[in-house]
Structure 1
């Protein structure tokens, strides 16, 4: 077997760390997974524990019973520890960005993997992974805090990035720009004056401040008011499955990638 492509990550993980992105994935991409023939989902770089891959499997099986999930890790010891938890439709294999799976995946989740790479490498591996997707497939790449209470992720197709989603637990941030440290590697160093992502976070903070009176009714109401105000200046997704009050109430906000594209 050829050497896996990539570098070993710290492997930090925990129960429910990726619940927010799993919930979004099931809601947004569940229909595509149900429509696909033999849908394959890859969890790339699941870390030192099989836990988040198992949780992804269970959550996707609830909306797409025919889905198959493969967890891929570059560390042989981590694969060995996960093997006893395999079951029908769930397996763990040794590998990296080359994705050693039997057929092109319908969906790839790569969370907290590219954070250790440089910006140019991150763009490169986006292209590599998108090039391995099945027709109509999607790559979900992002970063979460260790508790999973803050997360930012990008939805990509073979044509490149399409969406950027912010997600946070109410009460776990003082202002929306606190999520800046979870930005994908392709954006995190762009959060400076003159860049679109900086302008967006600045405007989000302003909307949050202006909406402070709604806080007497709870953080959720303040978030909803902020998003509605922000939507007057930015193309915030306002309709299902990516947006609208039902998703905003979860502490989510999705933008088209074009709104913040540094290129």
Structure 2
């Protein structure tokens, strides 16, 4: 008898281009370049095949041999996605949850679990991370986070195969951005309830907001330039920023230990 998937069905909400920010981040990640098996799992893909198909299209621009497996607990969603993606090479769909079942016990280089843990308690996060990370390739990563409904605000954690988080990334649409602190509404479950005085992530978001405000003097040169000036100020203030080459995309990555819950 096949064991039941581990976890609860997601709300199923999805939309075209909703996950474009995290897709592009994954596609350019060193782990995808290095792996001999560029398999990426889209865990909890939702009510249609949209996000796994978009993920595959973005990955194959960097790795032509990349493949995607979409996993969902809801059997009807799996059947619907299979019908929608019929004839598309490189993507398959199966029923599964945090146990990440794959044929032949194949291991993914990346597991993307966006908007999956929002409905869980903070105390559930470590166990979910551990289950998913146990299925990764030795150098693989779990990418877990949340975004708004149209993909203009997104945050995610990068977690290694040892289930230890490495970084937090905030990704925002800079055009017409008023306050980067809006990202606090979409922090990963491990951090969203920690955005209070005395917590590290609160201090980081406050610093991000402060430097963005100070950089308003260069706003006439464009939002990308303003963001870059704010990022330089953050780094100069001692924040351990990572993947700085992505600043031009409205992203900032920071080492996890700088924002980890106390």
TM-score normalised by structure 1 residue count: 0.93
What is the DSSP-based 3-state SS (H/G/I as helix, E as strand, rest coil) of the residue aligned with 2:60?
Answer: helix
Q: Match of 2:119?
A: 116
Which string of whole-angstrom CA distances, capped at 9 and with x for unpartnered residues, describes residues 112-153 of structure 1?
A: 000110001012111111111111011111101000000000
Q: State the Cα distance separating 1:192 from its structure 2 match.
A: 0.4
Q: Match of 1:100?
A: 101
**Structure 1's 172 and 148: CA in aligned 2 closer, same or farther, altered over 3 A?**
farther
**Structure 1's 133 and 76: CA in aligned 2 closer, same or farther, altered over 3 A?**
same
Q: Match of 1:8?
A: 9
List runs of 5+ in structure 2 lacking aligned partners: none
Are the equivalent residues in 1 in contact too, given 2:181–2:208 (CA < 8 A)?
Answer: yes
Are the equivalent residues in 1 in contact too, given 2:5–2:95 (CA < 8 A)?
Answer: yes
TM-score normalised by structure 2 residue count: 0.93
Q: Structure 1 residues 141-150 or 94-103, which shifts more?
A: 94-103
CA-atom RMSD in angstroms: 1.4
What is the DSSP-based 3-state SS (H/G/I as helix, E as strand, rest coil) of the residue aligned with 1:191?
Answer: coil
Q: Match of 1:57?
A: 56
Q: Match of 1:204?
A: 208
* Partner Cα distance (1:55, 1:183) in 2: 23
Q: Structure 1 residues 229-238 or 183-192, which shifts more?
A: 229-238
Are the equivalent residues in 1 in contact too, given 2:118–2:146 (CA < 8 A)?
Answer: yes
Answering whether residue 159 of structure 2 is matched by residue 143 of structure 1, we say no
* Partner Cα distance (1:248, 1:38) in 2: 29
Q: State the Cα distance separating 1:171 from its structure 2 match.
A: 3.3
Q: Structure 1 residues 78-87 or 14-23, which shifts more?
A: 78-87
Are the equivalent residues in 2 in contact too, given 1:236–1:243 (CA < 8 A)?
Answer: no
What number of residue pairs does the alignment pair up? 256
List runs of 5+ in structure 1 lacking aligned partners: none
Q: Structure 1 residues 32-41 or 52-61, which shifts more?
A: 32-41
Answering whether residue 140 of structure 2 is matched by residue 134 of structure 1, we say no
Q: Match of 1:18?
A: 19
Which string of whole-angstrom CA distances, capped at 9 and with x for unpartnered residues, describes residues 188-227 of structure 1?
A: 0000000000111111111111111111222222111111
Superposition map of 1:223-234 within 5 A: 223-234=227-238
Are the equivalent residues in 1 in contact too, given 2:110–2:142 (CA < 8 A)?
Answer: yes
Q: State the Cα distance separating 1:39 from its structure 2 match.
A: 2.6
Q: Match of 1:89?
A: 90
* Partner Cα distance (2:38, 2:181) in 1: 36
* Partner Cα distance (1:79, 1:234) in 2: 46
Are the equivalent residues in 2 in contact too, given 1:149–1:172 (CA < 8 A)?
Answer: no
Are the equivalent residues in 2 in contact too, given 1:46–1:73 (CA < 8 A)?
Answer: yes
* Partner Cα distance (1:175, 1:38) in 2: 40
After TM superposition, what 4+ stretches of structure 1 lie above 6 angstroms from structure 2?
Answer: none
Q: State the Cα distance separating 1:68 from its structure 2 match.
A: 1.8
* Partner Cα distance (1:96, 1:260) in 2: 28
Q: Match of 2:66?
A: 67
Superposition map of 1:21-60 within 5 A: 21-29=22-30, 32-60=31-59
Q: Match of 1:192?
A: 196
Q: State the Cα distance separating 1:172 from its structure 2 match.
A: 5.1
